[in-house]
Structure 1
Amino acid sequence: MTSPVFVGEPWDFLGASDVVDFEHPAIQALSSRFPDGDLAYAQAAFDFVRDEITHSVDAGDVRVPWRASDVLAQGTGFCYAKDHLYVALLRLAGIPSGFGYQRLSDDRGGFVLHGIVAAELDGRWIRLDPRGDRPGLRTWFSAEEDILAYRPDEAAGEKTYPEVYAQPHPTVLRALQEAEDCPSLATGGLPSDLD
């Protein structure tokens, strides 16, 4: 990972918020199912979010949850929302973590933001992508290297931003909160850059 640029104070990457509501009983109950030890826990939480929480677009689900506990309750969410749940689970275990983004080409000649997670594991920050697999797209947990669903094509204007945010970027959070449903968000409501 290129050197991260942290947006927030060090303690912010461990804190709860309205979005990262890890005090919620359902999130606490889920976390108790994961093994002890930072790496084993982080991998089990990653596998759960990747495999058990569907990506709204892939699943054809119209719901657009944004709060971590709502993502867990509804069992679905956009990449950003899945990240909110994963970060909540990591922070509950005392693992510093935050939110990252990639600017990727869309199929209409523009760009769209994709959400990823950054976590401090074994003394270094690693980017992780619990987006969820689909045909032609696979992600997995690694504490050694960044494993992301998408590799940006810099020549095409794509990039992975170096910033790691303690809270979701306001542009992303606003898009999720204002979306009427998944199809409207997926077909033009997704942010294209970090404005």
Structure 2
Amino acid sequence: MDKYIKVQKIGEGSFGKAFLVKDKENSQQYVIKEINISKVKNGCLYIVMDYCEGGDLFKKINAQKGVLFSEDQILDWFVQICLALKHIHDRKILHMVYLVTNYFKLLMKTFEAGNMKNLVLKIISGSFPPVSMHYSYDLRNLLAQLFKRNPRDRPSVNSILEKNFIAKRVEKFLTPQVRKIKNNEH
């Protein structure tokens, strides 16, 4: 925390608080999540993240007010979430549930569940209605696989990223260095 200056509190949740901060050296803006952990020496865990001026995914979803997102937008976000999950899984890092919460909320209008609790109950029971025909067969089929009742029947993040319609989108989210390595492998 010594490297940053707190600008303002931008959020608060059950796990802690989020602050907009500036790097003391280069004035770059970041978000720091302060997570309360009672057994840690100073009582908090700090996570430094990139600052997104337009807000986070949760804010974007709520602003939509029930209007369906375009498939391109959903797939772009989905690919980024999958790449993030792959990155942390490959490094044996645990991730928090809020990523899943945001994605479920994104789909909530599609499943007409009303609230998060009802959505989870519908997914667990396998009784959710089909996804809107507004979306492609590939996306609807992937969602059906992701929401299978038995977790063992669900695709892994690696197999999702290998699906043709997903793999086509991955490259635009890779850094130039990773793109170069990937191209040299083929």
TM normalised by structure 1 equals 0.29
Instruction: Determine which structure has greater relative contact order: mean sequence separation of CA pairs < 8 Å that are 6+ residues apart, divided by chain length.
Output: 1
- Larger % of helix: which? 2
Tell me the TM-score normalised to structure 2 length.
0.30
